[in-house]
Amino acid sequence: MPTVEVTDLKDDDFLLDVREDDEWQAGHAAKALHIPLSDFVSRYGEFTEAAPQDGRVHVICRSGGRSAQVAMYLVQQGIDAVNVDGGMQVWAAAGRPVVDDRGEPGFVL
């Protein structure tokens, strides 16, 4: 499974957050697209509309397990996708901004 470190991500990289709604509401990366793993197949069209056509998709969850599943699925669909190693836990630990649904400082649930 292709992976990337949080520290290697740039601010304009496309980030897909596959955590569940309560996790997202508590805290997420501000520019991420949120489609929970449990809804991913049914909302796949929403993903394809938002994802870069010729760019890489960085998939993130809390620690890397769920995002690895989605990244693998996307790679099988011919999409350049990678799993973000360590997920939002490492994101927050690295000092990357985490916001809640109101845009206020959030936390990783």
CA quadruple 89, 91, 97, 98: dihedral sign: negative
Identify the active-site residue in 61, 68, 71, 74: 61
DSSP 53: S
Q: Is 61 a catalytic residue?
A: yes
Rounded CA-CA distance 18/35 in Å is 5
What is the DSSP code (8-state) at residue 39? G
Give yes or no for a contact between 109 and 22, defined as CB atoms under 8 angstroms apart. yes
Query: Catalytic residue positions?
Result: 61
